[in-house]
Structure formats: structure tokens, C-alpha cells
Amino acid sequence: MSAAMQGTHLASAQMTYLEAIVQAQIEELERDERVVMMGEDLAVYGDGKVVARFGPDRIWSTPISETSFTGAGIGAAITGLRPIVALSIASFMYLAADPIINQAAKLRYMTGGQVRVPIVFRCSLYYGRSIAAQHSDRPYPMFINIPGLKIVCPASAADIKGLLKSAVRDDDPVMIFEDARLWPVKGPVPTDREWLVPIGKAEVKQAGTDVTIVAIAGAMRPSLEAAEVLKAEGISVEIIDPRTLKPLDTETIVNSVAKTGRLVIVENAHRLCSLSSEIAAIVGEEAFGLLKKPIQRLTAPDVHVPFSPALEKIMFPDRDKIVAAVKQIL
Amino acid sequence: MLLNQEQRLEAYRRMLRIRRFEEEGTRLYKAGKIPGAFHASIGQEATIVGACMALRDDDSMTGTHRSHGHPIGKGAELSGLMAELMGKQTGICKGRGGSMHLADNTVGIIGESAIVGGGIPLATGCALSAKVRRTDQVSLCFFGDGAVNQGTFHESLNMAALWKLPVVYLCENNGYAITTSLAKSHGQPSIAKRAEAYGMPGVMVDGQDVRAVYEAAHAAVARGRRGDGPTLIEAKTYRFDEHQVGLFIPGEPYRSPEEVGQHRQSRDPILLFRSALLGAGVSKAELSSIESEVQRGVDKAVQFATSSPFPDPATLCDYMYSESISYPDPYTKRCWEAR
């Protein structure tokens, strides 16, 4: 349970990350009749309960036309609805990228604020399943480069529920990258329907004094495991979950580095121009003098995700790599 | 449905407003007063106005990079449009859009997309929204002959027909996608015929005849309001000027000067409509009064735009994001503003 939740003694229920996604959508669809869902084969990708609960005016089961149903969602958002567009697997975001980038992200600015685009684009990071490179991408870094978008990438059941609900209520386009590795992971989730996690606020998952680890989505679990191993050796690790990738809560990260003087960043996206690159640059600019050792980045290499499990399993940072990276800068 | 007398004069006024606005804009562009690229709608006024006259004020609309005519056709004020062309703070888009993006939301325009075919899904979404909200609004989607070869055309028309969405797809077929003719880019040169494949009516009209465009658009709008679904209208029109003002295109001309001259002489939508109005008994004095009123309006818009300030550099980041939602947690701060 997160520090924020512990402090407030909220009523909560145990549920998986995937159940929290479904619950968040049901609550928001029930709360606001302007909320609609659009996507392909929604029931196949975990939203069966949502599809069963609402009529076809609320749940638009679309043809395989990612570019245009995404664009249609944007037109609907501008004219009074609050659509949740489900793109299922993150690699399909490339097909939806033109309307997301050229229309959703830009129209508020390009019209001088005449229109707003309250829309959510959901997709899952679907790697580690031997489905090869065209279904396994973690493409959030390229969207971080687009002004006008907000991007969240939660790592716990509570956070995905609270952030998805915040995204639906936000007046700007919000992209949600859901880590499919986390779908079965259970955790306490507040049951209050008005409980939200704010977009743009990181969380200190675990306080520590020797080294800071910033871990994103599916990289959180091996980072927590690594911290356990290190704790047994007397090394105190502080772990930060940014939760929102854009706008990034740099203050929480810099404050932690000020305390520890050491930074390891862990994520499963490819290395070049990743979020790790950006965090490293920010800390280099704003907190260089606080660093005792060089920043370490642990990412997937600049190689496509291979099909064979023998190859795919070495792609991503694991507990041992994280432990080794920490020890390298002690 | 035919245009009544009052509507015919309003149609003439709007067509002339587009023509004079574009002529003045072209002059200012050549004089260096308008930055960027200038795509004039001269020659295509009847198609734009005929379609817009079939709409209500609360109907949504999307347009294209050739964007100046669309808001004027829908009834927008000229001053904010001209100021936008000059990149002024008083521009309809606060100087963030410019020539290819003259979207005026006060008349229902949600965007003018300079990505060819980009507005087609958005207009489809406006219609979906109207259906969910149970209004009888329709949406009008302008695009060119080039856009029908984009995937968004195929995807969107299929969805609109499938869900019987109230949208009017209006193709301004001016014969050329920049320099590429229909013959060189379309396996099926009839755009209207494509409608049948999607399960919706396809209508071809003379885009130089404002009455014909209005009648086709009116029938399509009525069909949409009844809940019977979308219509594709192909309006055959012609762009009198170059794709953009001052564009130099090396090599063989893609259309002959004779072809352009012939259209300017005998297919000018404003001259054609003027003759028809005179033939129907409208007095020359009445038309002259509209003509001078339009000229005064354009002059006023130029005056307004010229005397308006450029945007303050301190406002560079304005209009990027909406206000943050109010979270229950007091520790939330709008940290994207800080960076």
C-alpha cells in the first residue's frame, strides 16, 4: 500500500491491476453519461464486464480501423463526449499516432484555445510473451516528445484505477500505457468512487538513504526485489515511481537524489531517447552537484523484441542487473 | 429544397465575401504582410457556400488546408480570420493556426486539417457524438479529391454507414491534388461512385452552381437529421489560382493556361450566379449594394488585422493545456507549468 493511502486509512479492496482498470471504467461510465468507450474486440482485451454492463450507445465496438476510430473519438471529444479509446496493444498506437499527434495533441493550441479535447487513449505494454517485435513495443518515449499530451504509466492496481479516473476527468488528451505484466498483480485499491490519483505526481514507494532507484511500470517489481537483496547487505534504497511520465514530477526525483547522491533508472523501453535519458538529463542539469557517482540507466537494448523466449528473457532489466548497477555506484 | 429569395442573396453575399477576402489576402501575401503559405479558395466558392447554407449554426464542420472559404461560408466574422492570416494576437486562433487552419468554433468548425484526409475521422466523430447526445445535429466534412485516396476516407465512410451517422461527406473535387490529376491518381475517376461500396448514397453535382450544391447538401442533411445515415457528395469545381500563391512548379505544366482561362471565363461560380439572380428578377442595384457592403467588410477586416498587435512572446505557452482538474489531494501542483 502506498504511503499516501496508509496515512488516510481509506476503505479498500484487494483486486488485480486488470480488475482495477475495469472497475475504474465502470465507475466513470456510470458517473458521467458523456463517457463512452471505443475499440476493437473489447471483451478479448479484458473489458468483458464493461461491454456486458453498458449499451451500444456507450460502448462502440469498432471495425479494425485504428486511425479513424481514434480520429472519430477526437471529433466526439471536441463536441461534448469524453471518450476512452482502447487501442489494445501499444504497437497499434503507431496506426493511431496521426490523429493523436496531429489532431488531439495540437487542436487546442492551433485553435487558440477554442476547442478542448478531453479524451483517453489506452493501450497495454504487451511484452515478455513471445509474440515478437510487432506486438511487444513499449513506445511511450516517442509520445513524450509530443507537446500537448499527458502520459501515465502506472505500476500498481490502486494507481491504475486512480489515474485512469483522473484521465477521464481531465480536459486534455491523456495516454495510458498499461503494463500487461502487471495485469494479474493484486493490491489494495480504494473503493471510494471519488478517490483519484493526481496526474503529474510521483510517489516514493520506499524511503531509503544510499541510492535512488526510479522505476517505471513493469520495472517496479524487480526493483523492489533488488532493494530487498540490497537491504540484507545493509544498503538502503529509495524507490520512486513517477506514475505520470508527462508532466514528469522532477521535484520528487531531484529531492531524492539530493538525499542519496546516487541514481539508477530502470525501465523496459528501448535505451535511446527513453524516459531514462530524459530523467538523467534533468538530474544532470538541475542536480549535478548533488551526484556522488555517475547515473546508471537500465533499459532494453536498441534491439527489437525477439520471438524466442531464450532471447527475449535477456532483453529487460531484472533483479540481478539492478543489484549489480546499484553496487557499481556505491 | 430550393434556396428562397433571402437565402439566395445571402449565398451571393457569402460567395462574394470569400472572393474579395481571398483577393485582398493574395495582395497582402504578395506584399509580405501575410507569412507562410497562402491557399486561396477562388473558383470554389459555390461548392463551399452551397454546402454551408444547408447547415444550422449548431452543426459541426471540418475543413482542409484550403481553409479560408469554409468559415466564411459558414457565416464567420472576417476580422478575426484576416488577423489570423497575419499572425496577430486578435486572430481567430490567436496566431497559432494561420492560413491552413482558419477554424472558427463560433460557427461550429472544430478544425481545419492540413493533414490531407485528417478531418474525415473527426467529422465522423462529431456525428457519433450527436447520435450519443441524441441531438439532431449533423456534421459537414469538407475534403479534396486527393483525400479520397487516404485510408481515413475508407475507414471513416465504412464506420459512418455501419452506424448510420449523420454526416455529409463533401468532396471539393477541383481536379488536382496539388499537381496530380484524377486520371493519374484514381483507378475509379468517379468519386461519387465509391459511395455505393460503403452502402451510402453518392451524389455528383456541378460545384460551380451554388443552387445545385445546396439542393444536394440539403437532401443529405435532411437524411442525416432523420437518422438515415451519411451521404457522399462529389462537387465538381475548379481552383482558379495555383495550389498556393506564388508556388513555382518546374517542368511541364500540369494544367494548361487555356484550361484555366476557360474555367475563369465561363465557369466562374460568382458570375454564373450573378447572371442567374439577374435573370430571376433581382435588381442590379440590389446586387451592387451587396457588393459594396462586402467590400466594406473586407476593408474593415484588413484595417482591424493591420492595426492589431502581434502576440506577446510571453504568451508562447498559452493554450497548450486546460486547467488542471481539482483533485481532492491538496499536495497536487501543476508541475508541467513549472517546466
Alpha helices, DSSP H, located in chain B: 5-30, 45-52, 69-74, 78-85, 119-132, 151-162, 194-198, 210-225, 257-266, 269-279, 284-307, 335-338
Q: How far apart are CA A198 and CA A213, in angstroms?
A: 22
The residues in A 46-85 lying below 8 A from B, measured between CB atoms, are 57-58, 60, 62-63, 65, 67-81
Instruction: Read off the CATH number of the domain in which B65 is found.
Output: 3.40.50.970
So what's the pLDDT on residue B334? Answer: 37
The string of pLDDT tens digits covering residues A226-282 is 999 999 999 999 999 999 999 999 999 999 999 999 999 999 999 999 999 999 999
Q: How far apart are CA B17 and CA B290, in angstroms?
A: 10
Report percent pLDDT > 90 for chain A.
95
Q: How far apart are CA B46 and CA B211, in angstroms?
A: 8
- CATH of range A203-328; options 3.40.50.920, 3.40.462.20, 3.40.50.11540, 2.60.40.2470: 3.40.50.920
Best A114, A249, A255 residue to mutate vs chain B (most B CBs within 10 Å): A114
The residues in A 202-241 lying below 8 A from B, measured between CB atoms, are none
Closest CA relative to residue B129, chosen from B167, B182, B185, B162: B167
DSSP tag of A293: S
For the question of residue A270 being annotated catalytic, the response is no
Q: Are strands A174-179 and A203-206 parallel, antiparallel or unpaired?
A: unpaired
Residue A253 in contact with residue A242, Cβ under 8 Å?
Answer: yes
Flag whether B161 is in a domain: yes
Please judge whether B125 and A170 are an interchain contact, meaning their C-beta atoms are less than 8 angstroms apart: no
Q: How far apart are CA A244 and CA B334, in angstroms?
A: 12
Flag whether B327 is in a domain: no
Rounded to a whole number of angstroms, the distance from the CA of B69 to the nearest CA of chain A is 17
The residues in A 257-316 lying below 8 A from B, measured between CB atoms, are none
Q: Which domain holds residue B172?
A: 5-312
Please judge whether B332 and A200 are an interchain contact, meaning their C-beta atoms are less than 8 angstroms apart: yes
pLDDT band at A3 (very low <50, low <70, confident <90, very high): very low
From the list A27, A66, A278, A312, the catalytic residue is A66
Q: In what order do the strands lie in the sheet with B60-64?
A: B109-113, B60-64, B139-144, B167-173, B231-236, B202-206
Phi-psi region of B267 (alpha: psi -120 to 50; beta: other; left: phi over 0): alpha
Q: Which residues of A touch B331 (CB under 8 A)?
A: 198, 201
- The residue written with cell numbers 498499461 in the block is A178
- For chain A, give the mean pLDDT: 95
Q: How far apart are CA A91 and CA A177, in angstroms?
A: 11
Flag whether B332 is in a domain: no
So what's the pLDDT on residue A32? Answer: 97
Fold entry, domain A3-190: Rossmann fold (3.40.50)
Say which amino acid occupies A236: S
- State mean pLDDT over A214-228: 97
Residue B205 β-bridge partners? B235
Q: Are strands A211-215 and A237-241 parallel, antiparallel or unpaired?
A: parallel
Q: Which residues of B touch A63 (CB under 8 A)?
A: 155, 158-159, 162
Please judge whether A71 and B94 are an interchain contact, meaning their C-beta atoms are less than 8 angstroms apart: no
pLDDT band at A8 (very low <50, low <70, confident <90, very high): low
Chain B residue with Cα closest to A151: B336
For residue B121, give the nearest of A71, A115, A201 by CB distance: A71
Best A95, A111, A170 residue to mutate vs chain B (most B CBs within 10 Å): A111
Q: What angle do CA B178, B183, B186 make, to 5 degrees?
A: 85
Please count the residues of chain B: 339
Find the Cα–Cα–Cα–Cα dihedral A196, A201, A203, A209, rounded to 10°: -160
Q: Which residues of A touch B329 (CB under 8 A)?
A: 4, 196, 198, 201
Kindly state the helix (H) or strand (E) to which residue A20 belongs, with its residue range. helix A17-31
Q: Are strands B176-177 and B180-181 parallel, antiparallel or unpaired?
A: antiparallel
The answer on pLDDT for A1 being more than 90 is no
The residues in A 5-34 lying below 8 A from B, measured between CB atoms, are none
Per-residue pLDDT of chain B (339 residues), as tens digits, is 789 999 999 999 999 999 999 999 999 999 999 999 999 999 999 999 999 999 999 999 999 999 999 999 999 999 999 999 999 999 999 999 999 999 999 999 999 999 999 999 999 999 999 999 999 999 999 999 999 999 999 999 999 999 999 999 999 999 999 999 999 999 999 999 999 999 999 999 999 999 999 999 999 999 999 999 999 999 999 999 999 999 989 988 999 999 999 999 999 999 999 999 999 999 999 999 999 999 999 999 999 999 999 999 888 989 999 876 655 443 333 333 433
For chain A, the structural domain boundaries read: 3-190, 203-328
Please judge whether B111 and A107 are an interchain contact, meaning their C-beta atoms are less than 8 angstroms apart: yes
So what's the pLDDT on residue B324? Answer: 65
Rounded to a whole number of angstroms, the distance from the CA of A35 to the nearest CA of chain B is 10
Phi-psi region of B127 (alpha: psi -120 to 50; beta: other; left: phi over 0): alpha
- Using the Cβ of B334 and the Cβ atoms of chain A, whether some distance falls under 8 Å is answered with yes
So what's the pLDDT on residue B325? Answer: 61
User: Which has the minimum average pLDDT: A8-17, A162-171, A251-260, B42-51?
Assistant: A8-17
Here the cell at position A316 is 529487460
Residue A37 β-bridge partners? A59, A84
The residues in B 144-203 lying below 8 A from A, measured between CB atoms, are 151-152, 155-156, 158-159, 162-163
So what's the pLDDT on residue A79? Answer: 97
The answer on pLDDT for A123 being more than 50 is yes
Q: What are phi and psi of A165, to 5 degrees?
A: -65, -40
Closest CA relative to residue A99, chosen from B167, B93, B150: B150
- Non-local (6+) Cβ contacts of B40 within 8 A are B22, B25, B26, B66, B68, B239, B240, B241, B245
From the list A40, A135, A225, A304, the catalytic residue is A135
So what's the pLDDT on residue B317? Answer: 87
For the question of residue A238 being annotated catalytic, the response is no
